[in-house]
Amino acid sequence: MIRSKSRIYGGWLIAMITLVDALSSCWFGYDQGVFAGVLVSEDFKTLFPQVLDANISGITSSCFFLGAFIGSLMAFMMGDKLGRRRTIAWGLLCNLIGATLQFTSWHLPQMIIGRLVNGFGIGLTSTMTPVYLSECAKSHMRGKLVVIGTSSNVTMFALANWISYALYSQNNAFQWRFPLAFQVVFFVMIAPLLFFVPESPRWLLLAGRDTEALEVLSRLAGKDIPMDDRIVTNEFRSIKVAIDLEREDRTPLMDVLCFRDKTHNFRRLILSCGTQFMQQFSGINALGFYLPTLLTENVGFNQEMSRLISAINGTVYLVSAFGSVIFIDRLGRRKMMLSGSIAMGLCHLIASLCLRTSEIDISQRKMLGNVTTAMFIVYHVFFGTSWACVPWVYSAEVNSLGWRTRGAAAATATNWLGGFVVTQYTKIGIDRLGWAFYLIFAICCFCYFPIVLLFYPETSNRTLEDMDHMFIQNPSIFVLGRAEMTQRRRPTSFMEAEAERIAAA
């Protein structure tokens, strides 16, 4: 069978799909970093004096997360009906409308509506682009490629902080309107790419469009690879049989929610949501949105120094996040989450104790303030190499094909809801609890270690179709001591099961 002519195939096609995910993540990361600088702009506070109230400041920041939460729920309900590309396109359009409303705002309600709409679009794209990429990439490179996307998120987070620092001397509306308007650049970069990339082959099979799926698989395989090539047809058969088996075993929703289906879809959804919950309650957005404010009010730096430290911190975070590309498949998902949880907990613990000591002994405030700042930066190093990336990879991998969009959407919704709660109450928590606020995050991080150790299986170096076999053969919720569930290398039994699926097709 001869496929239709295409100039983009193989590695170049995967690179373009990765670019769609990376640039979408760039917009996501930029939005996470940009508003910290906006909130401390004097012109912004003069135009919107309501944000001087901690509750209003919190809702103005956190409504973005509320919009993203709703967007993720929409992806949950409509993602499999619309398809991967169309859902991403709708998300980009909402992002453009939301960004325009924000940088043209003269009244606070318009700003809040703009952030809600912008957040809704980010909820759609942040749910769908990792799923789209993971469904197109090969298992041995899937982790690295998804991590490139999440690391791109951090790249723009760092850029947003540097833009904030560069505009420090601007005492007019340009100081905050330009950073918000800069978002339009992302739309211009991403939208044209969607015309050149195909739909996910796994979604096409799920939608019953077998011929199109086979053609996309042959394009992903490389130049001049026919649709009847053995490798292409074997992959096609393996995916199709996995879908057919899942459909034959389709159980009522209530049975799924009561853990009575043999593929354990609800358990897998909880695991993916759990990674995003733990990511948010490690304190990343408490620092991401309020670091300049924290450094000014808690540590004692002036505004210029606070912006500079935030920009340097963003750059360190960026380098760390790209460092995770090296480790994500070498160490596996479990080891990265386990080591990261302990390291982040120690950073929060030391920072909180230093702030407490500086309250008791004023003479040491400067020195202890420097140590606290160093802990915030070191925290971003450990977070960047572990929890920044792993939850996005994990939620795109662990769910079955029939539940992949819903699982990723539920996980992303958990991320945004957690971000909303953390961002809404960070300023209030700092004002009322002071140093003890960071102690809460330290305790949370330490608790993640036993949770991951006991309940989270390894997903690296497995095909997406391996996941069903893994949960069917290992129904216990506890994974510790079970080699098939925890080893980084692909188990032999999984390869044998794949051969049986191909033979049965």
**What tens-digit pLDDT sequence spans the chain (505 residues)?**
545 556 777 888 999 999 999 999 899 888 877 887 787 788 888 888 888 887 787 788 778 888 988 998 888 788 788 889 999 999 999 999 999 999 998 999 999 999 999 999 999 998 888 888 888 888 777 778 878 877 788 888 788 878 887 887 777 888 889 999 999 999 999 999 999 999 999 889 888 898 898 888 888 888 778 888 888 888 888 888 877 776 766 666 676 777 777 778 889 999 999 999 999 999 887 776 667 766 776 666 777 787 788 778 878 888 888 888 788 888 889 999 999 999 999 999 998 898 888 778 777 777 887 888 888 889 989 998 899 888 988 887 888 767 777 888 888 888 888 877 887 777 778 778 878 888 999 999 999 999 999 999 998 888 877 888 888 888 889 998 888 888 888 888 888 888 887 777 6
Nearest to 195 by CA among 16, 452, 324: 16
**Lookup: tokens for 255:** 């049975």
Q: Return d(Cα 380, Cα 395) in angstroms, integer.
A: 22
Q: Return d(Cα 26, Cα 339) in angstroms, integer.
A: 26
- Tally Cβ neighbours within 10 Å of residue 489: 12
- pTM score: 0.76
Yes or no: say if 101 and 110 are a contact pair by the CB < 8 Å rule. Answer: yes
Yes or no: say if 42 and 167 are a contact pair by the CB < 8 Å rule. Answer: no
Yes or no: say if 126 and 25 are a contact pair by the CB < 8 Å rule. Answer: yes
- C-alpha Rg value of the chain to the nearest Å: 23
Q: Which residues of 277-309 are buried (b: 16+ CB within 10 A; e: fewer)?
A: bbbbbbbbbbbbbbbbbbbbebbebeeebbbbb
- What DSSP letter does each residue of 160-184 carry, written as one string? HHHHHHHTTT--STHHHHHHHHTTH
Residue labelled with tokens 């040491």? 364
Q: Return d(Cα 444, Cα 301) in angstroms, integer.
A: 28
Q: Return d(Cα 379, Cα 366) in angstroms, integer.
A: 20
Q: How far is CA 42 from CA 167, 275, 311, 427, in A?
A: 12, 37, 19, 18
**CB within 8 A of 226, min separation 6: which ones?**
1, 2, 3, 218, 232
Handedness of CA 78, 84, 87, 91 (dihedral sign): positive
199: phi then psi, degrees, rounded to nearest 5: -75, 155
E strand map for 7-101? none
Amino acid at 235: E
- Tally Cβ neighbours within 10 Å of residue 185: 14
Yes or no: say if 124 and 90 are a contact pair by the CB < 8 Å rule. Answer: yes
Torsion of CA 148, 151, 152, 154, to 10 degrees: 180
- Tally Cβ neighbours within 10 Å of residue 200: 25
Residue labelled with tokens 């960026």? 318
Terminal Cα distance for the chain, rounded: 18
